[in-house]
Structure 1
Amino acid sequence: MWLLDEPTLGLDVASVARLEGRIARHRAAGGLVMLATHVPLALDGARGLALQEYAAEELPL
């Protein structure tokens, strides 16, 4: 299982494509990947979870 937080940060387009390939191969071999990103990735069969409804609310002090 890979846990990735903003894995595309600082990568150029070619490096993002290589990362997508590595993730795809890992998944094809039965691996699991959980990642947080603001950059859409080309990952067939991937599912997303929108976290807006879980955003913290401002609490009164």
Structure 2
Amino acid sequence: MDLKVGDLVELKKQHPCGSNNFEIVRTGADFRIKCTGCERQLWIPRSNLERRIKKIISKVD
């Protein structure tokens, strides 16, 4: 899956704050994503993130 810094993604499971939209902040073996609802950042392995993505909302060129 081609994901870049700045992309907005919608995950299948929502964050405890109620939002399920996240912005990708860092890429690599582990991704750092930021919740668009509460601005909290979390680390997630690439394999877990790719499995949990429901759709890509917007892509950065």
TM-score category (smaller protein):
under 0.3
Please state which structure has a larger fraction of its residues in helix: 1
Rg larger in 1 or in 2? 1
Q: TM-score, normalised by structure 2?
A: 0.23
Q: TM-score, normalised by structure 1?
A: 0.23
